[in-house]
Amino acid sequence: QVKKQCDQKLLIRMKTKCVPCTLNLGTQCPAGYTKITDGAGIPDCRYYLEIKTHTLSFPGCRHRCEKEFEQPECCQGHWGPDCMGK
């Protein structure tokens, strides 16, 4: 039996919105994503507060999230919706 379908595994990474580190403890990743950082997350960003005519910038934290995704793909020498072509 010749293998016709060779799906590719993709890892999709993203970061949550930058917020004050003390508020980031409870931040969740979007549905389907796994949080790969813990605690307050990574202090590598800045968030902004607008106060009347001024915008203030503060150091903040965010979490890293990832999701594994399988992309259907035909093996070499096969093609089409059912990977039947040869």
Ordered DSSP codes for 60-79: EEE-EEEEEEEEP-BPTT--
Domain ranges of the chain: 8-85
CA distances from 31 to 10, 56, 57, 67 (A): 17, 31, 29, 10
What pLDDT does 42 receive?
Answer: 97
CB atoms within 10 A of CB 14: 13
This prediction has a pTM of 0.72
Tokens in use for 21?
Answer: 């580190």
Average pLDDT per run of 10 along the chain, which is 86 residues long? 85 97 95 96 96 95 96 89 78
Beta bridge partners, 49, equal 56
Q: Which of 9, 25, 27 is nearest to 17 (CA)?
A: 27
